[in-house]
């Protein structure tokens, strides 16, 4: 192919000597390493524009573009030092600085277009084309910045090949990142392909250039060419490390803040109820629990204001922190209750600390010069074995809810002969009144397809705002109702409430996905349940397909044959049936293929430690493989972090996500607002996955 003299340097090309170019392999590798780091960093930073972090989304947009632009520029300049010539070479400082501009502009424009919503297929290739063009222009300016006594010629065919290869590889990188399942591996693959794109432009481009000197010119030592090379390469490498460091640091900070937001109370900075309940599930013996109940904080809010009330709570928390006994963890488990969980066989320190707190709270608290006298009481319960641990919290509540409590700062130990019967019996007896007076109510938590962000359904969750005891945890009142055979009537009430709500949504023109209802184990095989379902659906003119029945795995264990007959009957009638809390009854694995369920719901306990726990991750993958082989829908319960979501998206073909990552349980009016906002947000980010490179 004919070589043509180009404008890099004019001169007489007769009587010239061609120069051989030699390459330093370590520097070539370094140049590819730098652009690969820059590409991966840019992709990861642009990922962060899709979800909320401690920094505004535009910050990640700018940092990602800078990382990519700086990486392209670094690749070219480090690459220029990868080859050596037996002549002196220097770089024009102005052009050296200017050469980064096209790389930055192309990166910014590529990111901007990539983050715009569009359905056009050709439009999606533009970011890759722009990145390729920016790479070509940067290379051209870098060549212009190189000053030497040599004459240049270029093989236009080879140079054209370099340009075409750069643009094609940029588009391929974009396609990999955009269309292949999003994982760390595909992100790394996209980064490598982009590195090949930039490297193609540089090294094929340099290969298209011929270097010549006059035959009277005597080649000099190569040492002169290498002047200041080490300093420049070191500075560029440090710059890339700083960018990568920013990404790593921000990731760590984000994860820490996410952990704090989920597990700690914002007002007092104490561990919250979620951590408290998780800790109770991992018992150590013996174990003590003390709960301080601060009575009538609403009176403080009414007399002063809510800001002052918050400051009072903070003041109380600071007192409790200073008086916490050894080997004790303190939690804010409710707005007006603080828990002390002790993992020690010695309770004398706990008793002394609680007495000290009592003495302090008996005196007026001074907050901003105002005196506040609070009423309070402390309940202490103890567990010596696993069975007692399951009831340690309930026992403490039994003390606090006893009618004899006077809130005069007493420290009262749980006594089964005094407290148990009263509290549990009161809960059991109050349930009928609670249904009639609307103390019971339902919250709805969405289920979302983890890959498409499509809302696939909701779960109806029961809550109780007791007129005397306030909000009672389902973990407290449901076991009591089951023990007193009260959950059958409550389940009928839930079925009625759900069907009524679906009917109201339909009248308002909203046709939402199916709603899941939890069915108690003892009620699954009852003929009454099927009759109630049929009658209620007929009454509200809803359809079985709008209801999913969640049946616990342990309920199947009690009467497998009868349970399977009942499930077949539900499925034939059109209801979906989910096996809830899967993994808690291992003996059902041999029966799983026989049970005519439609959905497998994996228990939250398996999700909590993924992806950090290899054991839990392996168990999850095994369960997913089992569920997918049986062609079951798989729901993951209790997903709260992006790390958990990304793991499940990688491990499962169609993961359905339920948990605080997407939404907390909500009242119907809150749910509708959330759906509108969620769908609007998704329509804005549809096709918004980074398309650049």
Q: What is the pLDDT of residue 577?
A: 93
Q: Do 172 and 314 fall within a single domain? A: no
464 within a domain of the structure (yes/no): yes
Do 336 and 458 fall into the same domain? no
For 401-448, how does the pLDDT look when each residue is reduced to its tens digit (9 = 90+)? 887 788 899 999 998 877 876 778 888 989 999 999 989 999 999 999
Backbone angles phi, psi at 244, to 5 degrees: -65, -35
CA 328 to mean position of chain CA atoms: 30
> What percent of the chain is modeled with pLDDT above 90?
27
State the pLDDT at residue 691: 35
The pLDDT of residue 285: 60
Residues 248 and 280 grouped into a single domain: no
Distance set, CA 475 to CA 55, 332, 471, 482 (Å)? 37, 17, 12, 11
| Across 130-141, average pLDDT | 86
Q: What pLDDT does residue 221 have?
A: 45
Among 392, 418, 444, the domain boundary falls at 418
For residue 13, the model assigns a pLDDT of 56
Question: What integer pLDDT is reported at residue 461 of this predicted model?
Answer: 96
Domain extent for 486: 435-679
Judge whether 156 lies within some domain.
yes
Identify which of 64-68, 460-464, 669-673 has the greatest average pLDDT: 460-464
Greater pLDDT, 75 or 555: 75
| pLDDT digits 0-9 by tens, 463-480 | 999 887 788 888 889 988
- Find the mean pLDDT for residues 62-89: 82
pLDDT digits (tens, 9 = 90+) for 256-309: 777 887 889 989 999 998 889 888 877 676 689 999 999 878 788 778 888 888
Which residues touch 438 (CB under 8 Å, ≥6 apart)?
A: none
Cis before 304? omega within 30: no
User: Is pLDDT of 678 > 90?
Assistant: no
Residue 691: inside a domain, yes or no? Answer: no
Judged against a pLDDT cut of 80, whether residue 675 lies above it is answered with yes
Give, in order, the Cα–Cα distances in Å from 624 to each of 343, 593, 613, 633, 634.
36, 14, 16, 10, 7
**288 CB burial (10 A radius; 0-12, 13-18, 19+):** buried
pLDDT of residue 35: 87
Indicate if 245 and 342 belong to the same structural domain. Answer: no
Q: Which of 139, 232, 177 is nearest to 47 (CA)?
A: 177
Q: How far apart are CA 405 and CA 396, in angstroms?
A: 12
For residue 230, is it within any domain? yes
- DSSP-assigned beta bridge partners for residue 87: none
- Does some domain include residue 693? no
Say whether the peptide bond before residue 611 is cis (omega within 30 degrees of 0).
yes
pLDDT band (50, 70, 90) for residue 179: low
Give which of 165, 174, 210, 195 is closest to 74, Cα–Cα: 195
For 320-342, how does the pLDDT look when each residue is reduced to its tens digit (9 = 90+)? Answer: 999 998 889 999 998 889 999 98
The residue-averaged pLDDT of 25-30 equals 85
Q: Give the pLDDT score at 4.
A: 40
Rounded percentage of the chain residues whose pLDDT exceeds 70: 85
Q: Is 692 a domain residue? A: no
> Residues with Cβ < 8 Å from 467, sequence gap 6 or more?
437, 439
Q: Are residues 369 and 490 in the same domain?
A: no
Q: Is the pLDDT of residue 3 over 60?
A: no
Q: What average pLDDT does this structure show over 670-691?
A: 67
523 within domain boundaries: yes
**Residue 358 sits in a domain of what CATH number?**
3.30.70.270
Residue 518 in tokens: 């939890």
Lowest mean pLDDT among 21-25, 165-169, 231-235, 414-418: 231-235
Mean pLDDT estimate for the chain: 82
β-pairing verdict for 22-23 and 83-84 = antiparallel
The pLDDT-based confidence of 128 (bands split at 50, 70, 90) is confident
Residues 104 and 67: their CA atoms lie apart, in Å, by: 9
| E strand segments, 96-193 | 146-148, 151-155
What are residue 296's phi and psi, to 5 degrees? 55, 50
- The answer to whether the beta carbons of residues 304 and 370 sit under 8 Å apart is yes
Same domain, 494 and 406: no
- Kindly report, residue by residue over 237-252, the tens digit of the pLDDT: 677 777 777 777 777 7
8: pLDDT strictly greater than 50? no
pLDDT for the residue 53: 60
Domains of the chain: total:
3
- Which candidate, 306, 352, 187, 237, places its Cα nearest to that of 692? 187
CATH number of the domain at 491, please.
Answer: 3.20.20.450
Q: Higher pLDDT residue, 499 or 402?
A: 499
φ/ψ bin of 551: left (φ > 0), alpha (ψ from -120 to 50), beta (otherwise): beta
State the sign of the Cα–Cα–Cα–Cα dihedral 642, 648, 654, 656.
negative
Alpha-carbon dihedral 480, 483, 485, 489, rounded to 10 degrees: 30
Write out pLDDT tens, residues 614-627: 788 888 888 898 88
Q: Reduce the secondary structure of 520-552 to three states and give it as a string.
A: CHHHCCCHHHHHHHHHHHHHHCCCHHHEEEEEE
Banded model confidence at residue 41, pLDDT cuts 50, 70, 90? confident
pLDDT grade for 677, boundaries at 50, 70 and 90: confident
Per-residue confidence (pLDDT) for residue 617, from 0 to 100: 84
How far the first Cα of the chain sits from its last, in Å, is 31
Residue 7 is predicted with a pLDDT of 40
- Tell me: do 474 and 340 sit in the same domain: no
Same domain? For 456 and 510 the reply is: yes
Classify burial at 358, counting beta carbons within 10 Å of its beta carbon; exposed 0-12, middle 13-18, buried 19 or more. Answer: middle
Position 172 scores a pLDDT of 79
Task: Give the model's pLDDT for residue 215.
Answer: 67
Q: What are 588-647's pLDDT values in tens digits? A: 556 677 788 889 998 888 888 888 777 888 888 888 988 888 889 999 999 988 888 988
Task: Quickly state the pLDDT bin for 230 (edges 50, 70, 90).
Answer: low
What would the pLDDT profile of 97-114 be if each residue is shown by its tens digit?
A: 888 899 899 888 888 887
In 149-290, which ranges are continuous DSSP H helix?
156-179, 184-199, 205-207, 229-263, 273-280
The H-assigned helical ranges of 326-419 are 348-362, 386-400
- Which residue among 418, 446, 472 closes a domain? 418
Assigned domain for 302 exists: yes
- Judgement on whether residues 135 and 281 belong to the same structural domain of the protein: no
* Confidence at 369, pLDDT banded by 50, 70, 90: confident
Q: Note whether 452 and 587 are same-domain residues.
A: yes
Do 400 and 413 form a contact (C-beta atoms < 8 A)?
Answer: no
Identify whether residues 372 and 396 lie together within a single domain. Answer: yes
pLDDT for residue 311 = 92
Query: How does pLDDT run across 384-397, given as a tens digit for each residue?
Result: 777 677 788 888 98
Which residues are registered as beta bridge partners of 257? none
Give CA separation, 79 vs 33, 35, 259, 500, in Å: 11, 11, 43, 70
Q: Are residues 414 and 441 in the same domain?
A: no
Band of pLDDT at residue 362, cut at 50, 70 and 90: very high
Greater confidence, 28 or 685?
28
Check whether 518 has a pLDDT greater than 80.
yes
């Amino acid at each position: 192919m004919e070589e043509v003299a180009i404008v890099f340097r004019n001169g007489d090309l007769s009587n010239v000597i061609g120069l051989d170019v030699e390459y330093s392999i370590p520097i070539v590798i370094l140049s590819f390493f730098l652009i690969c780091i820059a590409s991966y960093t840019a992709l990861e930073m642009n990922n962060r524009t899709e979800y909320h972090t401690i920094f505004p989304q535009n910050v990640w947009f700018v940092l990602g573009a800078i990382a990519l632009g700086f990486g392209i520029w670094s690749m070219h300049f480090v690459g220029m030092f990868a080859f050596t010539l037996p002549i002196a070479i220097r770089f024009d400082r102005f052009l050296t600085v200017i050469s980064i501009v096209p790389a930055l502009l192309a990166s910014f424009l590529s990111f901007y277009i990539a983050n715009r919503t569009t359905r056009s297929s050709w439009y999606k290739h533009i970011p890759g084309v722009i990145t390729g063009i920016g790479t070509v222009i940067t290379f051209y300016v870098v060549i212009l910045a190189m000053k030497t006594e040599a004459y240049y010629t270029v093989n236009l065919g080879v140079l054209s090949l370099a340009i075409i290869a750069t643009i094609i590889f940029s588009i391929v990188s974009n396609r990999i990142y955009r269309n292949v399942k999003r994982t760390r591996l595909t992100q790394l693959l996209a980064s490598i392909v982009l590195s090949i794109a930039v490297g193609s432009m540089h090294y094929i481009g340099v290969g298209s250039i011929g270097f010549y000197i006059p035959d009277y010119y005597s080649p000099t030592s190569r040492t002169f060419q290498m002047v200041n090379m080490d300093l420049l390469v070191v500075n560029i490498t440090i710059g890339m490390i700083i960018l990568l460091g920013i990404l790593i640091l921000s990731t760590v900070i984000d994860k820490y803040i996410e952990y704090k937001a989920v597990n700690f109370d914002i007002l007092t900075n104490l561990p919250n109820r979620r951590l408290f309940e998780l800790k109770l599930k991992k018992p150590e013996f013996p174990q003590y629990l003390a709960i301080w109940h601060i009575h009538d904080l609403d009176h403080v809010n009414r007399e002063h204001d809510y800001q002052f009330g918050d400051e009072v709570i903070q003041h109380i928390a600071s007192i409790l922190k200073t008086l916490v006994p050894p080997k004790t963890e303190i939690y804010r488990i409710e707005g007006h209750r603080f828990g002390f969980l002790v993992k020690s066989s010695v309770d004398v320190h706990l008793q002394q600390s609680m007495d000290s707190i009592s003495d302090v709270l008996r005196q007026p608290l001074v907050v901003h010069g105002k005196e506040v006298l609070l009423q309070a009481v402390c309940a202490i319960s103890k567990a010596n074995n696993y069975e007692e641990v399951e009831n340690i919290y309930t026992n403490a509540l039994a003390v606090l809810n006893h009618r004899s409590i006077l809130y005069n700062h007493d420290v009262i130990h749980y006594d089964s002969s005094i407290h148990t019967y009263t509290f549990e019996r009161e809960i059991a007896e109050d349930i009928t009144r609670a249904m009639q007076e609307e103390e019971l109510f339902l919250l709805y938590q969405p289920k979302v397809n983890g890959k498409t962000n499509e809302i696939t359904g909701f779960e109806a969750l029961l809550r109780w705002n007791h007129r005397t005891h306030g909000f009672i945890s389902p973990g407290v009142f449901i076991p009591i109702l089951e023990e007193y055979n009260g959950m059958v009537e409550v389940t009928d009430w839930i079925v009625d409430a759900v069907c009524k709500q679906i009917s109201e949504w339909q009248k308002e023109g909203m046709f939402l996905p199916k709603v899941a209802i939890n069915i108690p184990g003892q009620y699954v095989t009852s003929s009454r349940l099927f009759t109630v379902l049929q009658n209620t659906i007929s009454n509200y003119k809803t359809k079985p397909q709008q209801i999913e029945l969640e049946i616990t795995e342990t309920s199947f264990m009690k009467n497998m044959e009868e349970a399977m007959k009942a499930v077949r009957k539900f499925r034939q009638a059109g209801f979906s049936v989910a096996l809830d809390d899967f993994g808690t009854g291992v003996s059902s694995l041999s029966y799983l293929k026989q049970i005519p369920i439609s959905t497998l719901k994996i228990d939250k306990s398996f999700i909590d430690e993924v992806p950090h726990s290899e054991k839990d991750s392996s168990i999850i993958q095994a369960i997913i493989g089992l569920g997918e082989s049986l062609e079951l829908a798989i729901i993951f319960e209790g997903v709260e972090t992006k790390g958990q979501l990304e793991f499940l998206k990688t491990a499962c073909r169609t993961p359905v996500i339920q948990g605080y990552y997407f939404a907390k349980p909500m009242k119907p009016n809150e749910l509708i607002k959330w759906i509108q906002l969620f769908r609007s947000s998704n329509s804005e980010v549809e096709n918004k996955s980074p398309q650049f490179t």
